[in-house]
């Protein structure tokens, strides 16, 4: 009789969406070095992808870039990513909701049982979606000079041509914009954390890698991760070989140093 031998490999497959912040604040450089936040973020993202491929080769990996709106990104386009500037309409704000909603769509289609979002940002959301007119009225009652943004077709087409990105408008297209220096608008904070909670209810876990020289911006990220029982990593652009890990699953902080 013929004898056949089969070797099996136990594989726990996961799906991961890496979301990289392309808002204008990511272009800032630290006073301690010349590397900008976006360049540091791209290096960190590329390193994470390589590690993911090496140790978990069967994982499904996706990348999303986001400002006021979000777009899928080809992995091989990561080195060429650049921030949205003020000249790109109002896309240069930071909308975590846009990243979370597009990531959820991607992960729903994937079908994996283990789902995770890795957010790479400078830790300062400044925009969120407004899903109905009553919410607009609510915001204007307390913030009469608020600004709302809905992208025009010309903007969407120019972004597609200039950045090679297709912005997702189906997750929401009316955006409330409010940048506060070293602070997060309360309405934006609430809506962002609620959206993160919706991800958790769907079995999608969120970790955040914050790249900034301003540790005061870490407070919002930590509060969001505390709510969703995730992890936050704080990295300075000039010190990419070390990170402060705040783990809300195990309730502890650890300083991580890259080996070698």
Which pLDDT score, from 0 to 100, does residue 239 have?
54
Which pLDDT score, from 0 to 100, does residue 243 have?
47
Which pLDDT score, from 0 to 100, does residue 12 have?
56
Q: Is the dihedral of CA 210, 25, 190, 42 positive or negative?
A: negative
Interval 17-29: pLDDT, tens: 999 999 998 998 7
Which pLDDT score, from 0 to 100, does residue 238 have?
58
Which pLDDT score, from 0 to 100, does residue 9 have?
46
Which pLDDT score, from 0 to 100, does residue 54 have?
86
Which pLDDT score, from 0 to 100, does residue 214 have?
74
Which pLDDT score, from 0 to 100, does residue 1 have?
45
| DSSP one-letter string for the chain | -------------EEEEEEEE-SGGGG-B-TT-S-BHHHHHHHHHHHHHHHHHHH-TTSEEEEEEESSSEEEE-GGGGGG-----TTSTTTTS--HHHHHHHHHHHHHHH--SEEEEEEEE-S---EEE--SHHHHHHHHHH-TT-EEE---HHHHHHHHHHT----B-TT---EEE--BTTB--HHHHHHHHHHHHHHHHTTEEEEEEEE-S-GGGHHHHHHHHHHHT-EEEEE-TT-TTEEEEEETTTTEEEEEE---
Burial of 145 (0-12, 13-18, 19+ CB in 10 A): exposed
Q: Is the pLDDT of residue 205 over 90?
A: yes
Q: Is the pLDDT of residue 221 over 60?
A: yes
Percent of all residues in the chain with a pLDDT value above 70, rounded to a whole number:
83
Q: What is the mean pLDDT of residues 155-172?
A: 92
Interval 40-65: pLDDT, tens: 899 889 988 988 888 888 999 999 99
What's the pLDDT band for 10 if we cut at 50, 70, 90?
A: very low
What's the pLDDT band for 260 if we cut at 50, 70, 90?
A: very low
């Amino acid at each position: 009789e013929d004898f056949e031998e089969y070797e099996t490999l136990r594989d726990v497959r996961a799906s991961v969406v890496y979301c990289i912040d392309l808002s204008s604040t990511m272009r800032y450089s630290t006073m301690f070095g010349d590397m900008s936040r976006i360049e540091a973020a791209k290096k960190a993202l590329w390193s994470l992808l390589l590690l993911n491929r090496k140790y978990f080769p069967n994982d499904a990996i996706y990348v999303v870039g986001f400002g006021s709106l979000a777009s899928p990104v080809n992995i091989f386009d990561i080195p060429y990513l650049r921030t949205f500037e003020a000249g790109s309409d109002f896309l240069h704000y930071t909308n975590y909701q846009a990243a979370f909603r597009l990531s959820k769509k991607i992960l729903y289609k994937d079908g994996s049982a283990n789902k995770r979002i890795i957010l790479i940002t400078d830790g300062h959301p400044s925009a969120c979606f407004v899903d109905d007119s009553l919410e607009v009225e609510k915001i204007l009652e307390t913030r009469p000079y608020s600004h709302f943004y809905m992208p025009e077709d010309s903007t969407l087409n120019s972004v597609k041509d200039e950045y090679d990105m297709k912005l997702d408008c189906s997750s929401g297209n009316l955006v409330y914009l409010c940048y506060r220096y070293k602070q997060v608008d309360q309405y934006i904070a609430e809506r962002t954390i609620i959206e993160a909670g919706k991800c958790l209810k769907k079995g999608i876990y969120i970790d955040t890698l914050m790249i900034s020289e301003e540790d005061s911006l870490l407070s919002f990220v930590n509060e969001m991760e505390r709510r969703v029982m995730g992890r936050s990593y704080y990295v300075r652009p000039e010190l990419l070989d070390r990170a402060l890990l705040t783990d809300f699953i195990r309730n502890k902080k650890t300083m991580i140093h890259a080996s070698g």
